[in-house]
Amino acid sequence: MATRKLIGTILAVVALFTFFFSWHVLRLIGLESWVPGWLVWLSLAGASLAFLLGDGSTSETVEPRGKAVFITGCDSGFGHNLAKRLDRLGFTVFAGCLFPDKDGAQSLKRETSDRLQLIPCDVTDDWQVQQALHTVTNNLGSCELWALVNNAGIAVFSEIEWCTVQQFQRLLDVNVIGVVRVTKAFLPSIRRCGGRVINIASLAGRFTIPAFTGYSMSKVACVAFSDGLRREMDKFGVRVITVEPGLYRTPISSPDYLVDMNRKNWAETPTEIKEDYGQEYFDAFLKNLKAHVNNARPNVDEVIDLMVEAVVTEDPKTRYVPYWLSYIRSSIIMYLPTSLADRLFKSYTCKAEVARTPKTPKTPKGGEKKFF
């Protein structure tokens, strides 16, 4: 495994250095708009081989008997499916649910064994998190708390000028402070048995697409927290792992939900801002957003498989990215020069012209307006 990691690292460094160095040479001679196709393919090939050869993990798995896992956000989506998979494998699962009495949580209970226990858990509520810890601790029996999976999360996909401050705050409360709150509560139990913390981040935590700014902010913070925690916990033998999927078809990426949310935001946006953008632009934005989320990958098992691997593998990877092509794209984008990345992400913005030309600044009395 050490050899695979070394080869993968060398290939990745060579590929990315070649691309990066060549770009700067071209920039110095004024030909930055011309990037040879072979450089792109070399980078792709290097990143592909790095993916295949680098950061491998062993296939040995842990014994599920006597091991418990606490998962947040099990009402639906990734957490719901992960809880069922781990229950079938024989783990004792504590499934944190925001609404434990509603259909999502109740269907989870019906479809799993008696080992699975529903736990009320709003990750933004200190009291509920402490109560969840108390319940888990008192029901472990002979089990050890092997893994914490911070899966609970929300999404807002909206342009900054009509995304409310309250929505930014809510994203950070759930996706960042919620992860910190739950981790700090459960970490002593994880640390005592040399277990692991698995944080469900996103590729949006590595780069920011227009209209995903608030969501990306929260996932960048989640990745930074995970990196710091991993380095601090290494001395205790605790593994800290991130699973970083792209866009998948889950309830938080529902087109109807996102369109309704943006329409409400737009209606509450100040008139002068709406006039500057124009209704034509907003309509094109909604069309572009729906097209983007409709292209979300449908096979959520690609994510669940890696979440399971992060829990059960004796020697897991530090970072899991579902779907090999997403891994390659993200590896390249992370090292692109800013100007190239900006050009790339222009394709994610709608092409509608702003319906109304912004007002020309008035000329002050006494002469022409001066710009500094």
Is 215 part of the annotated catalytic residue set? yes
Structure tokens at 305: 């498989």
Q: Look at residue 93 and tell me if it is in a domain.
A: yes
Residues in CB range of 229: below 8 A, 6 or more apart: 183, 197, 240
**Is 266 a residue whose pLDDT tops 50?**
yes
**Is 10 a residue whose pLDDT tops 80?**
no
Residue 223's Cβ-side half-sphere holds a number of Cα atoms within 13 Å equal to 19
Q: Of the given ranges (21-25, 127-131, 269-273), which has the lowest mean pLDDT?
A: 21-25
pLDDT at 371: 24
Instruction: Please tell me which residue, 163 or 369, carries the higher pLDDT value.
Output: 163
Q: Look at residue 140 and tell me if it is in a domain.
A: yes
Q: Look at residue 107 and tell me if it is in a domain.
A: yes
pLDDT at 43: 56
**What's the mean per-residue pLDDT of the chain?**
84
Where residue 16 falls among pLDDT bands split at 50, 70, 90?
low
Asked whether the whole model's pTM tops 0.95, one would answer no
Where residue 370 falls among pLDDT bands split at 50, 70, 90?
very low
Q: Residue 38's CB: how many other CB atoms inside 10 A?
A: 10
Taking every pair of C-alpha atoms in the chain, what is the biggest distance, in angstroms?
84
pLDDT at 331: 77
pLDDT at 67: 97
Where residue 364 falls among pLDDT bands split at 50, 70, 90?
very low
User: Counting beta carbons within 10 angstroms of the beta carbon of residue 269, is it exposed (0 to 12), middle (13 to 18) or buried (19 or more)?
Assistant: middle
What's the distance, CA 190 to chain centroid? 23
Catalytic hit among 215, 248, 277, 281: 215
Instruction: Supply the DSSP symbol for 353.
Output: P
pLDDT at 49: 52
CB of 66 closer than 8 Å to CB of 142: yes
Where residue 55 falls among pLDDT bands split at 50, 70, 90?
low
Q: Look at residue 161 and tell me if it is in a domain.
A: yes
pLDDT at 363: 40
Q: Look at residue 167 and tell me if it is in a domain.
A: yes
**Is 2 a residue whose pLDDT tops 80?**
no
pLDDT at 11: 59
pLDDT at 38: 47
pLDDT at 361: 44
Instruction: Please tell me which residue, 58 or 169, carries the higher pLDDT value.
Output: 169
Structure tokens at 169: 């705050």
pLDDT at 365: 40
pLDDT at 148: 98
Where residue 366 falls among pLDDT bands split at 50, 70, 90?
very low
pLDDT digits (tens, 9 = 90+) for 316-357: 999 999 988 888 778 778 777 888 888 888 766 765 555 444
pLDDT digits (tens, 9 = 90+) for 171-221: 999 999 999 999 999 999 999 999 999 999 999 999 898 899 999 999 999
What is the DSSP secondary-structure string of 7-35?
HHHHHHHHHHHHHHHHHHHHHHTT-TT--
Instruction: Please tell me which residue, 263 or 328, carries the higher pLDDT value.
Output: 263
Structure tokens at 34: 């011309």
pLDDT digits (tens, 9 = 90+) for 83-130: 999 999 999 999 999 999 999 999 999 999 999 999 999 999 999 999
CATH code of 66's domain = 3.40.50.720
For the chain, what percentages of helix, strand and coil (3-state, to nearest 5) are there? 55, 10, 35
Kindly state the average pLDDT of the residues 281-297: 91
For residue 128, give its domain range: 61-249+299-320
Q: Of the given ranges (156-160, 170-174, 292-296), which has the lowest mean pLDDT?
A: 292-296
* Nearest-angstrom CA–CA distance, 69 and 71: 6
Total domains, the chain = 1
For the sheet with 239-243, list strands across it.
Answer: 117-120, 92-97, 67-71, 144-150, 196-200, 239-243, 319-320
Q: Of the given ranges (27-36, 77-86, 231-240, 298-307), which has the lowest mean pLDDT?
A: 27-36
Share of the chain above pLDDT 70, in %: 77
Kindly state the average pLDDT of the residues 245-272: 93
Q: Look at residue 369 and tell me if it is in a domain.
A: no
* Nearest-angstrom CA–CA distance, 159 and 139: 45
Residues in CB range of 156: below 8 A, 6 or more apart: 163, 167, 168, 170, 171, 214, 215, 261
